Amino acid sequence: MSISSGLLKIAIIALSRELPKVYREGIEKAGAKEIEEIINVHAVGAAAVGLASGWIPAAGGMAGMMASTGFVWSMYYRINKKIGIPISKTAAKSLGSAVLSNLAGSCMAIVGGTILATLLSFTGIGNFFSSLIMASMDYAVVLVAGIIYLKLLTGLFKAGKDPANMSGDDLKSHADDVIRQENTKQLLKDAVREYKKKRKDGEVSGKESVTLEEDEKE
């Protein structure tokens, strides 16, 4: 069992135990496997974008990292939909952006990787290495963002709070608390190593794709 698979299963089980009756039917119908699959699909999809963007000179590294925002909020929205939590796409997007910004700001692994990928993309020799860095970083940040979200929901429900009735600022504040309590730097490092191993073993090709949720129409 991979590191991410083990952590996701534990997080999903913990969430299932804390869900109020109104949402319990949703997760029982979806099953832990579907929730785990949503996170994994978005993580490998983000990695594929990172792999491609790493080949773009200079701006590629940062562009690849920023593209992960779409994968994060699309992932959050689909988790909510599976469970039955009525949170809008706008709220999911705001929270996803905040979590990604928090992870990027607090983990030197993300920042350092993005800068290194950008510098390496100036050279032909460094293009492949640059792409692999971006792919593994994008995979890691989306995967960790998924784990953070599951833990956020678990903590809220355990405290008797329904995220559907909370403001965007409150959700962001609680997400910040979860991130502070977790060793996110280690989680990211483990996820980076995991992606590289999956590439080496042929478990992922770097060509995976996922159709993301579209923004709500004004």
- Residue 14 falls inside a structural domain: yes
Identify the pLDDT of residue 111.
Answer: 46
What are the backbone angles phi and psi of residue 202, rounded to the nearest 5°?
80, 15
Identify the pLDDT of residue 136.
Answer: 85
Identify the pLDDT of residue 113.
Answer: 58
Asked whether the beta carbons of 117 and 63 are under 8 A apart, the reply is no
CB atoms near residue 45 (< 10 Å): 23
CB atoms near residue 184 (< 10 Å): 23
| Burial class, 103, CB count within 10 angstroms (exposed 0-12 / middle 13-18 / buried 19+) | buried
Identify the pLDDT of residue 32.
Answer: 84
Structure tokens at 137: 């970083």
Residue corresponding to tokens 């978005």:
42
- Residue 214 falls inside a structural domain: no
Structure tokens at 108: 């030197």
Structure tokens at 111: 């920042």
- Residue 7 falls inside a structural domain: yes
Identify the pLDDT of residue 215.
Answer: 83
What is the rounded radius of gyration, in angstroms, for the C-alpha atoms of the chain? 17
- Residue 20 falls inside a structural domain: yes
Alpha carbon distance 84, 207 (integer Å): 31
Query: 108 is in which domain, residue-wise?
Result: 3-200
Structure tokens at 35: 């929730």
Walking along the chain (218 residues) 10 residues at a time, the average pLDDT comes out as: 79 93 86 92 92 59 68 96 94 94 63 56 60 83 95 96 94 95 89 89 93 80
Residue type, 132: L
Q: Give how many domains the chain has, as a whole number.
A: 1
Asked whether the beta carbons of 8 and 39 are under 8 A apart, the reply is yes
Identify the pLDDT of residue 158.
Answer: 96
Predicted TM-score (pTM) of this structure: 0.89
How far out from the chain centre does Cα 66 lie? 12
Structure tokens at 151: 């833990």
- Residue 206 falls inside a structural domain: no
- Residue 209 falls inside a structural domain: no
